[in-house]
Amino acid sequence: MIDLEKIITWIKKEISEISKDFPKIKKESYLVFSSPYGQCKITSSREEIYKEFPKFFMTDENHSSLKKIFKELKDMKGDDSDPTSKTKNEKIQKSANDLLLKLIIANDIQIEF
């Protein structure tokens, strides 16, 4: 499995090296993940990426489960006045976070600037 954080750290280091020779790159550009289906900033969280660009990740059981969880969280939004609802919401969010870490990056993702 590809470690997203390692990729981001590596590419930032490479861009830093390149920008020593081409200072305008650092000032006038930014890094994105892209594919034929869309793009997002390289600094986006896994949750932001999933919500804005779901095809960034391979469609599998985790992807499908996460879609259901986010729908459930959206339906529960604004129902934090009841302590039971708040606890349930926190448990569901933890499940979502766990699934986000299990998602596999699609094969057609590229890094561009």
pLDDT tens, position by position, 26-40: 777 788 889 888 888
The first and second tokens of residue 61, run together, are: 């059981």
The first and second tokens of residue 87, run together, are: 């606890």
The predicted model scores a pTM of 0.74
Per-residue pLDDT tens over the stretch 8-26? 888 888 888 888 888 887 7
Q: Is 56 in contact with 39 (CB distance < 8 Å)?
A: no
Separation of alpha carbons 1 and 8, rounded Å: 15
| Beta carbons within 8 Å of 37's beta carbon, 6+ residues apart | 53, 55, 56
DSSP run (H or E) holding 33? strand 32-35
DSSP run (H or E) holding 41? strand 38-41
